[in-house]
Amino acid sequence: MPLFDKKDKSRYATFTRRSVGLGGGMTLVFAVLAGRLYQLQIRDGDQYKTAAEDNRVSERLIAPPRGRILDRFGVELANNRRNYRVLLVAEQASDGVPAALDTLSKVIQISDAQKKRIAQTIAQNKKFVPVPVAENLTWEEFSRINLHLPYLPGVQPDVGETRAYPFAEGMSHLLGYVASVSPEDLKDDEDPLLDLPGYRIGKRGIEKTFDKEVRGEAGDSRVEVNAYGRVIRELGHDPGVVGPDVWLTVDAELQKFVAERLGSESAACVVTDVTNGDVLALVSSPGYDPNQFNVGITNEQWRALTTNDHKPLLNKVMGGTYPPGSTFKPTIALAAVDAGIATEDYRIHCGGSMTFGGHTFHCWKKEGHGSQDLHNGIKNSCDVFFYETARRVGIDKIQEAALKMGFGAPTGIELPGERSGLIPSRAWKQKTYREAWQQGDTLSIGIGQGYVTVTPLQLAQEATRLVSGRALSPRLVHMVGNKLSKRDVAAPVAFSDEAFQRVRDGMVAVTNEPGGSAYPWRITEAGYEMAGKTGTAQVRVFTKEEHARGITKNENLDWKLRDHGLFIGFAPIVNPKYAIVCVIEHGATVAHVQVQMARDILLFAQKRGTLDKPTAYPVKAAERARTNGGG
């Protein structure tokens, strides 16, 4: 009997075909899986391993400490201090964020506006991310938080670093400040450091000019995170490279004395080294506290700064422009001597005024000075002498002389926001007013009035060039890190030695000969004597009626209508070392306060011996090697 009948054989064949098909399908599936495994583990294994590692390990930028700013003797003008702050982790606040903030506000002061801002920041982040609640806490506040920490769930005390300015207002316009990054800053700077929460950059002064240099090189922290981004542990830490220090030419003690001497006046003062143009002090008064901008200025503080009529936010040294008044007369005198007009026997008679073109030009001395030569014209600051002298010299040569002395263009100092002032010319007036230049315009320029405007820094440059005879410009930065600031050799100013000497002699007479316009406020100590030139700059033109009524005196006018008081000078008169300019807005009085301030400052600088003390500038590596006997 057969083992299978035909019917059974048919069923067996069908089963076999199905088994083969199923087996083939399974084989194909396993082949595809094997191929995929090969692709993932062998062919693309390194790629996926890297991706997995990137998901597991997170690299985060670390902002390095900002480079310090130092004076010529190594005194810290801007440094980094500890920043005591408190953070809040939302998921650890057991009673919720509002309750946690309410509890914390019983320990330190937190306003409702701050609470609202903190709640918004927390809502924008994951609940396990620490969010800053308050920064720059005092040690007492920080201690209280640590003391009550068991009762403050979710609160984390933390210690970081922040910028500090030990001299506050006295250095504000020189150093500037750092503040939070704005959207405008991100447009022009692609540095990833700017994306760090709370990162601050230089906004004004030296902080802005050398911001990128003092940032240093960013560090990084490698941390292991889980699938939700929570930090599990730190795998590596590189703090980065601290920014290089910036060494200034200023003397912190002299700067401090100048700021104290200017007091609450709306004023500007610059002291320079006449041998090389180094700025020893640069003060605009009143100043502001740059620390406020770092920690976060309040609306009340900002309103007080912006509504103050003394303009504490304006750097008057280089951002304020003024008629130079009689401080411009030395430049007129230089032009007159070199033009062959102001010879030794050149004299002008002053009767208190002169009439030209139907207009009366007054001298400051109503009864006049009588016959004046160049020496006495400078000594007495005789307006009539310089009206007539300027007329004879002409505007073209006056403009040429002014440009030689550095007026009409930025000095190039290492600070942002410098203005050019204005030295007018025939072409300028025609272009600006569509009018021809008149000789009456030249007369006004002769006493530093009319269209001419200058900055106090340009006046300091004038004083420095008058003494040195070279085209020196103010310099504020000596070195950044180990790199010396570029300094070109100053060429002689294109005036004769005779012209310089006669002008300097006239300035010596101003303060040291009886009758000189600054004689009552001279330095009387032997060896410290100063020379200079006073100046009074009108802020408006007085009418004939006002002259007749005698209300042109500053004491009879509101503060904003009073003349500006100016003074340029140098000391000592034998082998000069220091040049100075002092400008007091609306401060021209019979007492010549600006001269008294300059006198005290020059005397302090000389007795302190700022230029006689050894500086602490770092020695460049190659020079250090040679000094130590290296190659």
**Integer angstrom CA distances of residue 472 from 47, 275, 569:** 62, 8, 16
State how far the Cα of 314 lies from the Cα of 456, in Å rounded to an integer: 13
Span of 15-29, 44-58, 96-110 with lowest mean pLDDT: 44-58
Residues near 9 by Cβ (< 8 Å), separated by ≥ 6?
A: none
Whether 180 is a known active-site residue: answer no
- Asked whether 237 and 229 are in contact (CB, 8 A), the reply is no
pLDDT at 435 over 80: yes
Amino acid at residue number 48:
Y
| Catalytic pick among 172, 266, 284, 326 | 326
CA distance 13 to 384: 133
Nearest to 466 by CA among 349, 329, 366: 329
Q: What is the dihedral of CA 574, 576, 578, 581, to 10 degrees?
A: 80
Which of the two residues, 437 and 4, has the higher pLDDT score?
Answer: 437
**To the nearest whole percent, how much of the chain has pLDDT over 70?**
85
pLDDT band at 87 (very low <50, low <70, confident <90, very high): confident
Cis peptide leading into residue 572 (ω within 30°): yes
- Both tokens assigned to 347: 């004299």
497-530 pLDDT, tens digit each: 999 999 999 999 999 999 999 999 999 999 999 9
Dist CA 572 CA 582 (whole Å): 17
Of the candidates 440, 450, 448, 445, the one whose C-alpha atom is nearest the C-alpha of residue 536 is 448
Across 443-457, average pLDDT: 97
Output the average pLDDT for the chain. Answer: 87
What does the pLDDT read at residue 626?
A: 37
Per-residue tokens: 392: 């004879």
What is the rounded CA–CA span in Å between residue 316 and residue 283?
Answer: 8
pLDDT at 629 over 90: no
Asked if 216 and 239 touch (Cβ cutoff 8 Å), the reply is no
Range of lowest pLDDT (235-244, 362-371, 491-500, 551-560): 551-560
Q: Which of 133-142, 200-209, 514-523, 543-552 has the lowest mean pLDDT?
A: 543-552
AA letter at 496: S
Question: One-letter amino acid identity for 415?
Answer: L
The model's pTM is 0.83
pLDDT tens, position by position, 553-610: 666 678 888 899 999 999 999 999 999 999 999 988 888 999 999 999 999 999 999 9
Residues 108-131 have a mean pLDDT of 80
Domains and CATH numbers, the chain: 60-248 (3.90.1310.10), 252-287+315-608 (3.40.710.10)
Residue 192: Cβ-neighbour burial (10 angstroms; 0-12, 13-18, 19+): exposed
User: What's the rounded mean pLDDT across residues 222-228?
Assistant: 57
Strand partners, 322: 454
User: Which among 224, 276, 506, 274 is positioned nearest to 385, based on CA atoms?
Assistant: 506
